[in-house]
Amino acid sequence: MNTQSPTTCPFHGDALSPVPASHHPEPPSLKGWPPGPPSRLTGWSHLARMARDLPAALEAWHRDHGDLVHLRIWPEHQVIVVHPDLARELLVTHHDALIRWERGTAVFSRLQGRSLFVAEGEEWRVRRQSLQPAFQHRAVQGFVPAIAGAAGRMLAGWPADGGICEVGSGFTALAMDVIVRMLFSTPLGGDARMAEEAVEILLRAANAELYWPAGWPDWVPWKRAKRRALATLRGLIDRHLRARLDLSPDDWPDDLLTRLLQAHRDERAGWRLDGVRDECMTIFLAGHETTAATLIWWAWCMAANPLAQDTAREEVRRVLNGQEPTAGRLAELPYLRQTIQETMRLYPAAPVLSTRRSTRPISLGGWRFPARTLFLLPVQAMQHDARWFPEPLAFRPERFAPGAPPIPRGAHMPFGAGPRVCLGQHLAMTELTVIAAMLLQCFALSVPAGVAPPRPVMRLSLRPDKPLRLQLSPVTGG
């Protein structure tokens, strides 16, 4: 049932003007707001539903109300954008009219400082341009030996005779180790478990804070666990930063920290030392969490789809012949990459992109939205839409094969779109492909008897609701 939201806005008056919704060409804009669930007095019940399960709530509202859904959550107007054309139009055509939602910026700033993730305007452009070369495809290829080495050490620690194993903690520790080596040229070592626990505490805390219009400062007594977790990660970053600064610049290794420090030396006004520290924290948090989450879901998809797993393993065996992956051979593993792409379609690590606020009126999908409208982009809802992906909940890597029916632009965007597309997308795909190939060389994955499919839960990233336990069987013959 489509329930029309109120058509006038007490805050913006008649800022909206008239016509029927249609994508191409865009007519004069409709007056009022798109359909949406009734909000009663404040609409705060919507927040409670979103806090319980944000992706499920957004998918349900999409089914009930269409591709543009209005949520009245006092004192804001929010619009859920679920059509790929409209999502890309918003992120690409209107990108210069959007900023990150202030509440989200405040929450993330408490975790990672004033980093690229929360910066806006000229500050964002300067930082993005400084960091871009370190994350381009050619630069990322240089990290392949370090990724393969870290993956080899992790797999060597798994039981050689197989057995049932909880894979999530191992993938998280591995992803942390890889990003720390890329940042600082040193292993994470004994800090792994401590860092994993700290990250889990911080992600839970940040996720909860997003659903409150305002939050308590971190010094209040009941946030002791969050303060300790932050101190743990900041201490980790600071130790590496101090150790690097104690060296002569001629002795600095070629890693991400060196590139950040060189930017600091060359552009002191735009890159204070605190900014280097903040970027290190952001790269550590974002650079391992989404990779670890995707690896966990990929392992589940392989275990639950043995034919796809066998096909990927045979490709790996034929191309690598038991050797570690190299940058030059990764392009020869197209089917393996398809299994990763399909995993990210079903279980995007970031199922909802960061909420945006418009700084001026925007015309979108036949509607004209006033300045200060909030826009939510549910990636998972778009990627589970049967219009673009028949049988959307089925695992079908062939959707991404050459010659497959084209996927509409914007229907699959696990890394976002537009100028703020994820800076680390090449690094993520490279890391995922290397680790997946090496795992398939060593083990076959299967679902133990009696184990039910994991339920996805969003705590900033999408993770299984319980630790994922899979059966590992050694692979003979490489």
- Could you give the CA distance from residue 305 to residue 295 in angstroms, rounded to a whole number? 15
H-state helical runs in 246-349: 256-266, 273-304, 306-320, 334-346
Closest CA relative to residue 428, chosen from 331, 287, 302, 329: 287
Q: Is 286 left (phi over 0), alpha (psi -120 to 50) or beta?
A: alpha
Strand pairing report for 98-100 and 374-377: unpaired
DSSP string, 130-167: HHGGGGSHHHHHTTHHHHHHHHHHHHHTS-TT-EEEEH
- Known binding residue 422? Answer is yes
Q: Is 246 helix (H, G, I), strand (E, B) or coil?
A: coil
Query: Do residues 105 and 73 touch, judged by C-beta distance below 8 A?
Result: no
Strands across the sheet with 76-81, in order?
A: 68-73, 76-81, 374-377, 353-358, 98-100
Query: Do residues 346 and 453 touch, judged by C-beta distance below 8 A?
Result: no
Q: Strand pairing partners for 60?
A: none
Closest CA relative to residue 376, chosen from 353, 359, 392: 353
Cis preceding linkage at 456, omega within 30: no
* Locus of tokens 């133990």: 448
Query: Do residues 351 and 458 touch, judged by C-beta distance below 8 A?
Result: yes
- Could you give the CA distance from residue 129 to residue 117 in angstroms, rounded to a whole number? 13
Question: Which DSSP category does 91 fall into?
Answer: I
- Could you give the CA distance from residue 128 to residue 19 in angstroms, rounded to a whole number? 39
* Locus of tokens 């004192």: 75
Question: Which DSSP category does 369 fall into?
Answer: E
Q: Is 351 left (phi over 0), alpha (psi -120 to 50) or beta?
A: alpha
Binding residues: 422
Binding residues for heme: 422
